[in-house]
């Protein structure tokens, strides 16, 4: 079997598919020189679909109350140090108003799994947003729910749903989550969301505890097969009140390497350069964009709650991470040759004509 990087790039270009073994070799071939080769190929591919345009999403962290106890997450239910909050409907809608004024055309409502965000409450919020601003896209990221619930959210007008699969290996999944959570149910959710007609986003943390080149190979194969409209990957960053508090953080450079590979596996994918990447490394988000990402999600949550949505330590929430810092973000993207656009940022299924 040929196993040089150019062979993999050619095969991805022509077939968009590699074997699990080939993905494993790629994961193990990470070094600066190979990262640069993948980066260049990914940038070229992204430009073929999206030019130098970067889409922005207004992220509204609607609450940090969560019934789950994921071992990596700072808002897990056992974290008694977390200062809990839940935004009211009025607060959520005023974040949307503020974001719309700033030029956002997509809003992401994200939070813990909190039964107070019932189908009734959420459908009301979604209908209100879509009634007032019919041209915007609404993305939900509120974890695992029933098929009926997903259907109600879709019928109310929600367009997209982000639910990272976290890992496509069930043993690894069990090392990251308590027994009541299963990869099987995650997959059920993703499958149903797709069937119902949501734009779906999966994803995983890079460098999560117990991750190996085999589990990464499965993640890449899963992305290849699911062909999600969106894919969120960011480095794992430890949080001091979780069982993984002493686990090492993921690497920003390896995250960028995987961003490039994902761009080549599924070229049209909407790929964010995440806050976690920007938190781990100065200019991390710029590096993510250069590696092939084409989405940034500035924070639109009320300033008073931003620190409380502490999934991991030292999370960035000011400056160009914040929606108010849009001018700064535009400047930092322009400096590396990219343009922030106010657009719903829907997926483009074919390469551009010109």
What residue spans of 291-324 are helical by DSSP H? 303-306
Closer residue to ligand SAM (CB): 13 or 67: 67
Could you say which of 18, 163, 295, 316 contacts ligand SAM (CB under 6 A)?
A: 163
Closer residue to ligand SAM (CB): 207 or 268: 207
How is 68-103 classified by DSSP, letter by letter? Answer: ---TT-TT-TT-TTS---B--HHHHHHHHHHHHHHT
Work out whether 72 is an interface residue with ligand SAM (CB under 6 A): yes
3-state helix/strand/coil string of 253-284:
HHHHHHHHHHHHHCCCCECECCHHHHHHCCCH
Each residue 293-312 as x (binds ligand SAM by CB under 6 A) or -, in order, gives ------------------xx
Residue span binding ligand SAM (CB under 6 A) among the ranges 27-35, 70-78, 82-90, 337-345: 70-78
Binding residues: 66, 70, 73, 141, 166, 186
Give CA–CA dist 26/77, Å, rounded: 37
Give CA–CA dist 268/286, Å, rounded: 20
Work out whether 237 is an interface residue with ligand SAM (CB under 6 A): yes
Binding residues for [4Fe-4S] cluster: 66, 70, 73
Work out whether 207 is an interface residue with ligand SAM (CB under 6 A): no
Residue span binding ligand SAM (CB under 6 A) among the ranges 17-25, 47-55, 107-115, 254-262: 107-115
Give CA–CA dist 259/272, Å, rounded: 9
CB of 240 to ligand SAM, least distance (A): 10
Q: Residue 319's CB: how many other CB atoms inside 10 A? A: 12
Element of type H or E holding 333: helix 326-335
Q: Which residues lie across from 234 on neighbouring strands? A: 205
Can you give the binding site for ligand SAM, defined by CB under 6 A?
Answer: 72-73, 75, 110, 112-113, 141-143, 163-164, 166, 205, 234, 236-237, 239, 276, 311-312
């Amino acid at each position: 079997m040929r196993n040089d990087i150019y062979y993999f790039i050619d095969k991805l270009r022509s077939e968009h598919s590699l074997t699990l073994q080939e993905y494993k070799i790629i994961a193990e071939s990470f070094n600066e020189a190979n990262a640069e080769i993948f980066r260049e190929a990914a940038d070229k591919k992204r430009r073929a679909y999206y030019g130098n345009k970067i889409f922005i999403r207004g992220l509204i962290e609607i609450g940090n109350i969560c019934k789950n106890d994921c071992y990596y997450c700072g808002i897990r239910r056992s974290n008694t140090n977390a200062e809990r909050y839940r935004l009211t409907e009025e607060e959520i809608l005023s974040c949307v108003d503020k974001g719309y004024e700033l030029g956002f055309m997509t809003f992401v409502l994200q939070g813990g799994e909190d039964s107070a965000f019932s189908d009734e409450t959420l459908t009301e919020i979604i209908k209100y947003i879509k009634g007032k601003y019919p041209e915007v896209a609404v993305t939900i990221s509120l974890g695992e729910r029933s098929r009926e619930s997903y259907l109600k959210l879709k019928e109310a007008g929600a367009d997209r749903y982000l639910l990272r699969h976290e890992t496509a290996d069930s043993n690894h999944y069990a090392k990251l989550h308590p027994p009541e959570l299963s990869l099987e149910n995650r997959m059920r959710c993703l499958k149903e969301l797709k069937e119902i007609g949501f734009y779906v986003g999966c994803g995983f943390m890079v460098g999560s505890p117990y991750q190996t080149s085999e589990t990464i190979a499965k993640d890449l194969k899963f992305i290849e097969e699911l062909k999600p409209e969106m894919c969120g990957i960011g480095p794992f960053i430890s949080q001091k009140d979780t069982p993984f508090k002493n686990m090492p953080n993921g690497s920003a450079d390896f995250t960028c390497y995987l961003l490039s590979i994902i761009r080549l596996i599924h070229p049209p994918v909407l790929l964010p350069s995440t806050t976690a990447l920007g938190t781990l490394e100065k200019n991390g988000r710029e590096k993510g964009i250069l590696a092939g990402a084409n989405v940034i999600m500035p924070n639109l949550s009320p300033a008073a709650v931003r620190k409380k949505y502490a999934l991991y330590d030292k999370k960035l929430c000011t400056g160009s991470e914040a929606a108010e810092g849009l001018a700064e973000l535009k400047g930092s993207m322009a400096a590396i040759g990219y343009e922030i656009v106010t657009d719903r940022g829907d997926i483009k299924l074919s390469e551009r004509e010109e």
